[in-house]
A and B are shown apart, each in its own frame.
Chain A
Amino acid sequence: MKDPRQRPGPTTADKGRQLWNPGRSGRMKAGLVGLSSAAIVSVYAVGYLHTSASEPSGVVAALPTANAVATVAPPIVTTKSSGQGTLPGAPATATPRATSTPKSGTTSSTAAVYKDGTYVGVGTSRHGNIEATVVVKSGKIVSAEISGCGTRYPCSKVSGLPGQVVARQSASVNYVSGATDSSKAYAGAVTQALVQAKA
Chain B
Amino acid sequence: MSVGAASAAVRYHVAMDTTISVEVPGVSSEATREAIDRAFRWFDEVERVCSRFDERSELRELCAKPGEPVVVSELLFAVLSFALQVAGESDGVFDPTVGAAMTRAGFDRNYRTGERVAAGEQGLATFRDVVLTPETRAVTMLRPLTLDLGAVAKGFAIDLAAKELENYANVAINAGGDLYLRGVDAQGGHWRIGVRDPHDFDSLAETFILDGRAICTSGDYERRDALLDEHHLLDPRTERTARACASATVIAPTAMVADALATAAFVLGPASGIAFLEEQGVEGMLITPAGKRFQTSALQEFIA
Contacts and interface: CB of A to CB of B under 8 A. Distances in A.
Interface of A: 1-2, 11-14, 16-17, 19-21, 24, 31-33, 35-37, 39-44, 46, 48-51, 57-58, 60, 76-77, 82-87, 90-97, 99, 101, 108-112, 114, 126, 134, 140-144, 153, 157, 160-164, 166, 172-181, 183-184, 186-188, 190-191, 194
Nearest to A31: B281
7 contacts: A32-B261, A51-B41, A95-B31, A96-B34, A99-B164, A144-B12, A177-B196
A178 B219 contact: yes
Contacts of B130: 13
Contact of B14 (A11, A178, A194): A194
B193 A177 contact: yes
A33 B257 contact: yes
B239 interface: no
Closest A-B pairs by Cβ, 3 of them: A16-B131, A57-B56, A85-B212
Interface in B1-17: 1-3, 10, 12-14, 17
B166 A87 contact: yes
B19 interface: yes
Given A17-B88, A85-B182, A58 B56 contact: yes
Interface of B: 1-3, 10, 12-14, 17-19, 21, 26-27, 29, 31-35, 37-38, 40-42, 44-45, 48-49, 56, 58, 61, 73-75, 78-79, 81-82, 84-86, 88-91, 128-135, 140, 142, 156, 159-160, 162-170, 172, 174, 176-179, 182-183, 185, 191-196, 201, 204, 207, 211-213, 215-219, 222-225, 247, 249, 252-254, 256-257, 260-261, 276, 279-282
B176 A110 contact: no
A110 B194 contact: no
Nearest to B93: A1
Given A84-B254, A177-B216, A20 B82 contact: no
A86 B211 contact: yes
B76 to A, nearest CB: 9
Contacts of B253: 33, 37, 82, 84
Contacts of A177: 177-179, 193-196, 215-217, 249
Contact of B166 (A42, A83, A180): A83
A55 B194 CA distance: 41
Contacts of B41: 48, 51, 101, 110-111
B193 A36 contact: no
B84 to A, nearest CB: 7
Nearest to A39: B78
Contacts of A83: 163, 166
Given A84-B254, A95-B31, A174-B193, A50 B182 contact: no
Contact of A94 (B168, B225, B276): B168
